[in-house]
């Protein structure tokens, strides 16, 4: 058997008592994912996790766009850590991969430059009168789901198996750059073959698609998208990935980063409109899920509570393949029980 070196790249992940920090953009684009994570932690794994009401941005998008200076980011990060300390927690769990990268980077700077840590303590105290402690454990939520993937499997109603053929579903996994490319040793499986999502897929019955552009950028790339003039670079990168994965006929894509999930989902619509092209045989596109959505579906959670109707590429075909039961009449029911108007259908991408 081939020795897989990346199996050696494991990290310490706390067992319990987590402080959860939500993402700025995930709550807009995949509003059910964070709720699903908290439900999984509390109802399936019976863990203690704090969802702090006074949390705020980590500055990640502003920081990586050179809008927010380093010292400001450090102070903002310090305030988030002070909330964790105030709530009596030491295990920090940021929902967003970019936040995970930001926290990893700030902690690393503080470890190497103690004078920066002291300056941050001073800035935070002057600005807010608060003090903070560095977390004893920093893990991304996908790390935690990976850690407990076998426990979760026991509660799952479905597997990643095509019920018509009995074969494993073919899954493209895409791990966010800021998960392991900044600090490879802090990601499960390191940067070249990150195993955090692949481990979930394999444990839950699926098959990971190893396609040539597997490690290529999803197309977000911050400036590539944030500057309108650069958006051609963004969509060109996504297109390159879709073309590379197309021959393998993947059943769906799963990501652990908000940027990747959004761009690989939304650009399929744009490419379909621009070039009349979809990357599946039937014209529906390739569904793109967050790992919480993937876990939630297999656990039997209502797909509309998970927020799958918010995605650009719809997941009914995938759910049919797995055998997941859902009520199509409930798809657009709002939280107040009122049925919302159906969104306009795209001209090319079928729904």
Partner 1 sequence: MKKIAIIGAGPAGIEAASILASHDCEVQLFEKSADTLSNITDKAFLFPDFSSAQELANKLNSQLLNDKIKVILNTEIVDIKKDNDDFKIIDRDGKTYVADKVLITTGYNVFDAHRKEELGYGIYKGVITSLDMERMIRHKQITNSIGEEPEKVVFLQCVGSRDEKSGNHYCSKVCCVTAVKQAIEVRKQLPKAQIYVFYMDLRMWGQGFEELYREAQEKYDIRFVRGRISEASATFDSRVQIKSEDTLIGQPLKMTTDLLVLMVGMEPSKGTRTLAENCGIAGPYKFIASEGPHTNDNNTATEGIFVAGTAKRPMSIRDTLTDATAAALEMLK
Among 98-106, 130-138, 189-197, 337-345, which window interacts with partner 1 (CB under 8 A)?
189-197
Asked if 311 and 324 count as a contact pair (C-beta separation under 8 A), the reply is: no
Residue 207 DSSP label: E
Q: Spell out the residues 6+ positions from residue 1 whose beta carbon is closer than 8 angstroms to its own.
A: none
Q: Does 212 bind partner 1 (CB under 8 A)?
A: yes
Q: Binding partner 1 by CB under 8 A: which of 29, 148, 211, 267?
A: 211
Q: Which two tokens stand for residue 27?
A: 């709550």
Among 4-12, 27-35, 61-69, 278-286, which window interacts with partner 1 (CB under 8 A)?
4-12
Q: Binding partner 1 by CB under 8 A: which of 5, 118, 133, 223?
A: 5
Question: Shortest Cβ distance from residue 212 to partner 1 (Å)?
Answer: 4
Q: Does 192 bind partner 1 (CB under 8 A)?
A: yes
Q: Which is nearer to partner 1, 5 or 136 (CB)?
A: 5
Among 204-212, 277-285, 307-315, 333-341, which window interacts with partner 1 (CB under 8 A)?
204-212
Q: Does 214 bind partner 1 (CB under 8 A)?
A: yes
Q: Binding partner 1 by CB under 8 A: which of 150, 213, 273, 275?
A: 213
CA atoms within 13 A on the CB side of 16: 5
Measured distance CA(289)–CA(200) in Å, rounded: 13
Q: Which is nearer to partner 1, 221 or 346 (CB)?
A: 221
62: left (phi over 0), alpha (psi -120 to 50) or beta: alpha
Question: Shortest Cβ distance from residue 96 to partner 1 (Å)?
Answer: 26
Sign of the C-alpha dihedral computed for residues 302, 308, 309 and 314 taken in this order: negative
Q: Binding partner 1 by CB under 8 A: which of 248, 269, 326, 332?
A: 248
SS (H, E, C) 139-152: CCHHHHHHHCHHHH
Q: Does 158 bind partner 1 (CB under 8 A)?
A: no
Give the full edge-to-edge strand order of the sheet including 18-21.
Answer: 49-51, 18-21, 91-94, 137-138
Sign of the C-alpha dihedral computed for residues 23, 24, 25 and 31 taken in this order: positive
Q: Does 114 bind partner 1 (CB under 8 A)?
A: no
H helix count then E strand count, the chain: 16, 8
Q: Does 233 bind partner 1 (CB under 8 A)?
A: no
Q: Binding partner 1 by CB under 8 A: which of 75, 82, 91, 190?
A: 190
Q: Does 238 bind partner 1 (CB under 8 A)?
A: no
Among 56-64, 118-126, 188-196, 259-267, which window interacts with partner 1 (CB under 8 A)?
188-196
- Centre a 10 Å sphere on the Cβ of residue 205 and count the other Cβ atoms it contains: 19
Q: Does 6 bind partner 1 (CB under 8 A)?
A: yes
Q: Binding partner 1 by CB under 8 A: which of 2, 54, 165, 228?
A: 2
Strands 252-255 and 288-290: parallel
Question: Shortest Cβ distance from residue 190 to partner 1 (Å)?
Answer: 7
Among 149-157, 173-181, 210-218, 314-322, which window interacts with partner 1 (CB under 8 A)?
210-218
Q: Which two tokens stand for residue 87?
A: 């709530």
Whole-angstrom CA distances from 135 to 18, 39, 102, 329 are 10, 23, 14, 45
Q: How many residues sit close enough to partner 1 to count as binding (CB under 8 A)?
A: 16
Among 1-9, 125-133, 173-181, 327-335, which window interacts with partner 1 (CB under 8 A)?
1-9
Measured distance CA(177)–CA(158) in Å, rounded: 30
Rounded to 5°, angle at Cα 261 from 313 and 164: 50
In the complex, the residues that contact partner 1 under the rule CB under 8 A are 2-6, 190, 192-193, 210-215, 247-248
């Amino acid at each position: 058997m081939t020795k897989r070196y990346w199996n050696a790249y494991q990290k310490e992940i706390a067992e319990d008592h987590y402080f959860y920090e939500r993402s700025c953009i995930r709550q807009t684009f995949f509003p059910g994912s964070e709720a699903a994570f908290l439900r999984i932690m509390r109802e399936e794994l019976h863990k203690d996790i704090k969802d702090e009401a006074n949390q705020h941005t980590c500055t990640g998008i502003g920081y990586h766009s050179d809008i927010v200076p380093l010292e400001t980011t450090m102070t903002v990060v310090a305030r988030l850590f002070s909330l964790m300390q105030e709530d009596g927690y030491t295990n920090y769990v940021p929902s967003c991969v970019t936040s995970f990268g930001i926290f990893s980077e700030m902690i690393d700077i503080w470890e190497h430059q103690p004078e920066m840590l002291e300056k941050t303590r001073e800035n935070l105290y002057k600005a807010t009168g608060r003090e903070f402690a560095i977390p004893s454990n920093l893990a991304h939520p996908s790390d935690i789901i990976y850690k407990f993937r076998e426990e979760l499997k026991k509660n799952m109603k479905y597997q990643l198996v095509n019920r018509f053929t009995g074969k494993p579903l073919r899954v493209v996994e895409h791990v966010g750059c800021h998960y392991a490319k900044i600090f490879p040793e802090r990601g499960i499986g390191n940067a070249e073959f990150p195993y955090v999502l692949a481990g979930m897929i394999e444990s839950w019955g699926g098959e990971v698609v190893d396609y040539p552009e597997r490690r290529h950028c999803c197309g977000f790339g911050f400036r590539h998208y944030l500057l309108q003039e650069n958006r051609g670079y963004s969509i060109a990168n996504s297109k390159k990935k879709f073309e590379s994965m197309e021959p393998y006929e993947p059943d769906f894509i799963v990501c652990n980063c908000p940027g990747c999930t959004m761009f690989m989902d939304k650009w399929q619509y744009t490419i379909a409109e621009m070039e009349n092209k979809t990357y599946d045989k039937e014209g529906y596109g390739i569904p793109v899920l967050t790992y919480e959505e993937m876990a939630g579906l297999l656990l039997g959670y209502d797909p509309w509570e998970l927020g799958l109707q918010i995605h650009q590429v719809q997941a009914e075909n995938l759910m049919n393949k797995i055998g997941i039961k859902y009520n199509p009449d409930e798809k657009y029911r709002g939280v107040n029980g009122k049925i919302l108007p159906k969104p306009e259908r795209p001209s090319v991408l079928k729904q």
